[in-house]
């Protein structure tokens, strides 16, 4: 069997605009370390092939330190490396792919049509293509079919399997069926697919190896594959240094600051968190103070308030009194309010009810 690694959508040098400038620079440096971990994984698994199926860079503008690390890392890798430029990093005369000198065992596809590279020492052949601009309306697999020549056949392509109307190289199930490859390494989608099969072709996309936002949450990595002409096996290998995670924290019956401390004590301090506070609260929430409390215990935390006022506050809502009218009016406003407006309206309910009942103002 032939052992390979399949990665895609590294998006090196992403801007990380949601983070502070210092954290964004740190995250870009951590992204670069994906290359080191990829090389270490190739050595540990004795991978013979590495497929990088597009969007290795986030844009055409790549920092010199990123290119230097990429070149030095690939020089040390013993596996044959195949790179298919994608919509974020298309192959052009000014792209790093065309300007730099790459090691002899690194092949960068430069044509929009499938190129063929034979590997006699492995009894294999690799096909692949490149984006030449940020968009392409035609399929990278249009009218393509691998030759039947007794070799293990691979494909390394960047394309969108979600819709035939995509501007990013739409690939149909029929085209995958007709390509007759033993394994098709795809890129573009940022969530791992797991191994799939259409006709005689196994295929997959690994997702991005390091999340860059909450739309890329959870564990991220690459695939370790083993394939011959009869079967294909894939194992997912986590590669990310940090994960984006969304969590729901029920604070019912707890002081918000203590509930937050207890959660963060068991969380991975490397993770980037978005925490939705839920449940019934007994006091108004100061999200700024809670965020400051969380800062020393986590890399980055964003708090969202989805808590609700104690049900007892609404007990008089149906009364035919001024208090009942006030509560009904405020309940309607809260139901129509945006998440940002709700805390202010709920605080107004507490103050208004206290005033109507002659109580002390709430803290």
**Which DSSP string do the residues of 66-128 spell out, in sequence order?**
HHHHHHHHHHH--SEEEE---SSS---TTSHHHHS---TTEEE---SSPEEEEETTTTEEEEE
CA dist 349 and 330 (Å) reads 7
**Within 10 Å of residue 76's Cβ, how many Cβ atoms?**
12
How far is the CA of 194 from the CAs of 45, 136, 168, 185, in angstroms?
19, 26, 21, 12
Give the tens place of pLDDT for each residue, 200-212. 999 999 999 999 9
Q: What's the confidence (pLDDT) of residue 306?
A: 87
| 161 class by beta-carbon count within 10 Å (0-12 exposed, 13-18 middle, 19+ buried) | buried
Longest dimension (CA), the chain: 89
* Residue 57 φ/ψ, nearest 5 degrees: -105, 155
Helix axes 64-76, 21-45, angle to 10 degrees: 10
The CA distance from 262 to 107, in Å, is 50
pLDDT value of residue 356: 86
Contacts with 176 (C-beta within 8 Å, 6 or more apart), sequence order? 141, 161, 184, 198, 199, 201, 203
Q: What's the confidence (pLDDT) of residue 353?
A: 86
The C-alpha atoms of residue 204 and residue 234 are separated, in whole angstroms, by 9
Say what the pLDDT of residue 315 is: 84
Q: What are phi and psi of 330, to 5 degrees?
A: -70, -35
Three-class secondary structure assignment of 31-45: HHHHHHHHHHHHHHH
Low-confidence ranges of the chain (pLDDT < 50): none
Q: What is the 3-state secondary structure (H, E, C) of 190-225?
A: CCCCCCEEECCEEEECCCCCCCCCHHHCCCCEEEEE
185, 6 Cβ separation under 8 angstroms: yes
Q: For the CA atoms of the chain, what is the radius of gyration?
A: 27
Which residues does 85 contact at the CB level (< 8 Å), separation at least 6? Answer: 54, 56, 91, 95, 97, 108, 109, 110, 130, 131, 158
Instruction: For the chain, list the domains and their CATH numbers.
Output: 2-238 (3.60.21.10), 244-357 (no CATH)
> Quick one: 99 exposed, middle or buried, by C-beta within 10 A (0-12, 13-18, 19+)?
exposed
Q: What is the DSSP letter of 241?
A: S
Q: What pLDDT does residue 347 have?
A: 85
> Which tokens go with 252?
């019912």
DSSP-derived secondary structure for 279-320:
SB-SS---HHHHHHHHGGGSSEEEEEE--B--GGGGTTTTSS
What's residue 135's pLDDT? 97
**Residue 331 tokens, joined:** 């309940």
Tokens of 71: 């070149």
Give me the pLDDT at residue 363, please: 62
The C-alpha atoms of residue 351 and residue 360 are separated, in whole angstroms, by: 9
Residue range 232-267, pLDDT digits in tens: 999 999 999 999 999 999 998 899 999 999 999 999
In whole angstroms, what separates CA 223 from the centre of its chain?
15
């Amino acid at each position: 069997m032939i052992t390979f690694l399949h990665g895609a959508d590294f998006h090196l040098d992403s801007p990380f605009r949601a983070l502070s400038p210092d954290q964004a620079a740190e995250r870009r440096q951590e992204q670069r370390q994906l290359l080191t971990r990829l090389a270490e994984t190739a050595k540990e698994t004795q991978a013979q092939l590495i497929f990088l199926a597009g969007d290795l860079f986030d844009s055409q503008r790549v920092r010199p330190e990123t290119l230097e690390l990429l070149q030095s890392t690939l020089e040390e890798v013993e596996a044959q490396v195949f790179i298919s430029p994608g919509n974020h990093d298309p192959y052009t005369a000014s792209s790093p792919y065309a300007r730099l000198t790459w090691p002899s065992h690194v092949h960068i596809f430069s044509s929009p049509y499938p190129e063929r590279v034979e590997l006699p020492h492995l009894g294999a052949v690799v096909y692949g293509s490149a984006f030449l601009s940020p968009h392409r309306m035609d399929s990278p697999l249009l009218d393509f079919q691998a030759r039947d020549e007794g070799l293990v056949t691979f494909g390394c392509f960047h394309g969108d399997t979600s819709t035939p109307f995509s501007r990013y190289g739409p690939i149909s199930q029929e085209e995958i069926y007709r390509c007759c490859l033993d394994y098709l390494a795809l890129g573009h989608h940022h969530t791992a697919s797991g191994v799939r099969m259409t006709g005689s072709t196994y295929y997959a996309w690994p997702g991005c190896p390091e999340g860059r936002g909450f739309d890329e949450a959870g564990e991220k990595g690459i695939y370790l594959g083993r394939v011959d002409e009869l079967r294909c096996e894939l194992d997912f290998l986590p590669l990310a240094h940090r994960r984006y995670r969304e969590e729901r924290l029920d604070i019912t019956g707890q002081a918000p600051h203590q509930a937050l401390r207890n959660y963060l004590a068991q969380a991975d301090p490397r993770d980037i968190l978005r925490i939705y506070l839920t449940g019934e609260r007994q006091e108004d929430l100061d999200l700024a103070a809670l965020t400051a409390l969380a800062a020393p215990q986590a890399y980055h935390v964003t708090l969202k308030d989805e808590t609700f006022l104690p049900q007892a506050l609404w007990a008089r809502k149906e009364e035919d009194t001024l208090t009942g009218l006030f509560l009904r009016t405020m309940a309607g406003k809260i139901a129509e309010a945006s998440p940002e407006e709700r805390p202010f309206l709920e605080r107004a309910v507490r103050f208004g009810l206290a005033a109507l009942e002659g109580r002390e103002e709430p803290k």
